[in-house]
Amino acid sequence: MSSNGDGFEQASDTVAALRVLTTLDLTTLDLTTLPDADIARLLQTAETARRKLDGLGNRLIGEMQDRGIHNTVKLSTPQKYLVELLRLSRADAHRRIKNARLLAPRTTPTGTVLDPVLPVTAHAITDGAAGTDHADAIRKVIDRVPGRYRHSALEQIDQILGTLARTSTPDDITTAGIDLLARLDPDGALPDDRDRAARRSLRLPPQDAGLMSSLRGDLHPTTRAKLDAIAAKWARPGMNNFDDPDSPHGSIERPDLDPAALEQAARRDLRTADQRLHDALDAICTHALATGTLGHHRGLPVTVIVTMSIDQLETGLGLATTATGGVIPVPDALAMTENVHPVLALFDHAGAPLHLGRGKRLASAEQRLLLTAWQRGCTRPGCDMPASHCAVHHLTEWRHGGATDIDNLALVCDADHTRITGTETGWRTRVDPHGGRPLWTAPHLLDPARTPRRNHRHHPHEMIVMAMLTTRPVHIPRTDCRPWRRRKPRQPRE
């Protein structure tokens, strides 16, 4: 009885404190008198408070659903109750309901209260270390797990990504989630290869009144006319079919094309119009890359550069990475590179490449290839720009005696290159003394401790390993759950 009384008093104090907060006129706070460091601290404090309120909101929504309050006011769903009560959009109400189902304590029909479905993630939010965007990212990773795997994978995803959410951004969660899904089932059944094939399409709707066509953008009428002419040859039924190894490839006007083979392939063609257009575009891209007419980009021929490990090459499992920041299932990457000459890059046990130096200021094509395999993209912490959009930067400047050696070079995108100033308001770069990838030091206003960090965005497996090393069983404190431990069984609806 006393515990329930203590819980009621605690809840009453919390409600009173929140009411005081809502009465404050925060617009009168003179921010112009605060130094920059205080602005940064106030931003962090406000964000922590907002995240804790999000955690409270999840529990309140869970309690609302357990009690069936929406039925009391004659509304058919909890979403409609939130829309009416809080004046939310239907989309936002739906998102909050879905998050609460994963992050709020659960009550069984007998009145027993269980921990949330995702206890690690829920605890990170109630602590103020993670926010709703982190929860959304984790939920979207879980949504990609087929139902037959979901129960067994749920706890592992929560432990790893919920721990990672305390120190990483929601974008990092998404990147690590893609890698984690591949590791949960490295032979490719999760998600199924057939699911990936069925999802491919290139949507080309009819032209609008301005003769423009949306294709993740707008096409000029002449561009649309050119695409239509190409599609008439390359997207014909039976041509360039991913699902049919005997389908003719290239243009229908090929002089060696067998009309009988095309007719038979067309009869076997079960693709939608969108899939045929997708496959035609793939064949056109393959043709353009094979001819070499696209020239060079940043010192390398315009081609698809794929990076994989020796283990992946031997087993044919997992995901390979591209220089443009994409990922490809290893079997598909191997099939795509059947007729090319592979480049072998050797790395030591710490993941650093063996020495590759040069006596000139500009990095060679071989060095750029090795940097692509090693660093994969921009090396500034948090940047997701792929290697194809990066320049080669000297960690110790050439004019200051820095050599064009592989351990003194870093891939840096153009925007981040301008941020390297070496001053208190700029970023600094330096060689990792232990042989790892380049280290960056953030400006004082972002990191007063000036702690050197490296970018893990292009190496999601590292984020997963770090999260696993710091993962430990997390239980919601009993002081938070005591009033909910037992309650009366739910009454049947009238």
User: pLDDT tens for residues 40-62?
Assistant: 899 999 999 999 999 999 999 99
Q: Is 358 helix (H, G, I), strand (E, B) or coil?
A: strand
Of the candidate ranges 14-18, 45-49, 173-177, 351-355, the one whose mean pLDDT is the lowest: 351-355
pLDDT at 481: 41
The answer as to whether 453 is a domain residue is yes
Q: Between these two residues, 321 and 291, which has the higher pLDDT value?
A: 321
Of 242, 274, 294, the residue at which a domain comes to its end is: 294
pLDDT at 248: 83
Mark whether 167 and 239 lie in a shared domain.
no
Q: Which two tokens stand for residue 407?
A: 């351990």
Q: Which two tokens stand for residue 283?
A: 């064949």
Of 188, 204, 226, the residue at which a domain comes to its end is: 188
| Confidence check: pLDDT of 285 > 80 | no
User: What's 52-111 look like in SS3?
Assistant: HHHHHHHHHHHHHHHHCHHHHCCCCCHHHHHHHHHCCCHHHHHHHHHHHHHHCCEECCCC
| Confidence check: pLDDT of 240 > 60 | yes
d(CA 265, CA 267): 5
The answer as to whether 166 is a domain residue is yes
Mark whether 146 and 234 lie in a shared domain.
no
Find the domain containing 405 and state its range: 357-457
pLDDT bracket for residue 137 (50, 70, 90): very high
Non-local (6+) Cβ contacts of 229 within 8 A are none
pLDDT at 480: 42
pLDDT at 196: 58
**Residues 191-208, mean pLDDT to the nearest whole number:** 59
Instruction: Compute the mean pLDDT over every residue in the chain, rounded to the nearest whole number.
Output: 78
| Confidence check: pLDDT of 486 > 60 | no
Contact 430, 438 (CB under 8 A): yes
Mark whether 217 and 177 lie in a shared domain.
no
Mark whether 287 and 375 lie in a shared domain.
no
d(CA 300, CA 369): 8
Counting residues of the chain whose pLDDT is more than 70, the rounded percentage is: 74
Mark whether 284 and 363 lie in a shared domain.
no
Mark whether 278 and 379 lie in a shared domain.
no
pLDDT at 482: 39
| Confidence check: pLDDT of 93 > 80 | yes
Contact 442, 455 (CB under 8 A): no
Mark whether 91 and 181 lie in a shared domain.
yes
The answer as to whether 372 is a domain residue is yes
**Residues 279-305, mean pLDDT to the nearest whole number:** 70
| Confidence check: pLDDT of 222 > 80 | no
Mark whether 136 and 254 lie in a shared domain.
no
Residue type, 362: L
Identify how many contiguous H helices and E strands the chain contains and give both numbers: 19, 15
| Confidence check: pLDDT of 134 > 60 | yes
User: pLDDT tens for residues 351-401?
Assistant: 666 555 545 556 677 788 888 888 889 999 989 888 878 888 988 887 777
pLDDT at 211: 52
Residue type, 29: L
Of the candidate ranges 62-66, 278-282, 480-484, the one whose mean pLDDT is the lowest: 480-484
pLDDT bracket for residue 26 (50, 70, 90): confident
The answer as to whether 163 is a domain residue is yes
Mark whether 257 and 158 lie in a shared domain.
no
pLDDT at 60: 93
∠ CA 446-449-455, nearest 5°, is: 65
Q: Which two tokens stand for residue 256?
A: 């060696």
Q: Is 283 helix (H, G, I), strand (E, B) or coil?
A: helix
pLDDT at 315: 80
Of 155, 173, 188, the residue at which a domain comes to its end is: 188
Q: Residue 167: count other Cβ atoms within 10 Å of its Cβ.
A: 14
Single pTM value for the model? 0.63
Ranked by mean pLDDT, which of 113-122, 252-261, 342-351 comes out on top? 113-122
The answer as to whether 462 is a domain residue is no
Mark whether 138 and 82 lie in a shared domain.
yes
Contact 79, 458 (CB under 8 A): no
How much of the chain is in helix, strand and coil states, percent to nearest 5? Answer: 50, 10, 40
Mark whether 108 and 238 lie in a shared domain.
no
pLDDT bracket for residue 453 (50, 70, 90): very high
**Residues 237-250, mean pLDDT to the nearest whole number:** 82
| Confidence check: pLDDT of 476 > 60 | no
What is the total count of domains within the chain?
A: 3
Length of the chain: 494
**Residues 290-306, mean pLDDT to the nearest whole number:** 66
**Residues 411-439, mean pLDDT to the nearest whole number:** 87
CATH number where 115 lies: 1.10.10
Counting residues of the chain whose pLDDT is more than 90, the rounded percentage is: 22
| Confidence check: pLDDT of 483 > 60 | no
The answer as to whether 106 is a domain residue is yes
pLDDT at 484: 39
pLDDT at 288: 72
The answer as to whether 342 is a domain residue is no
Residue type, 263: E
Mark whether 177 and 72 lie in a shared domain.
yes
pLDDT bracket for residue 245 (50, 70, 90): confident
The answer as to whether 99 is a domain residue is yes
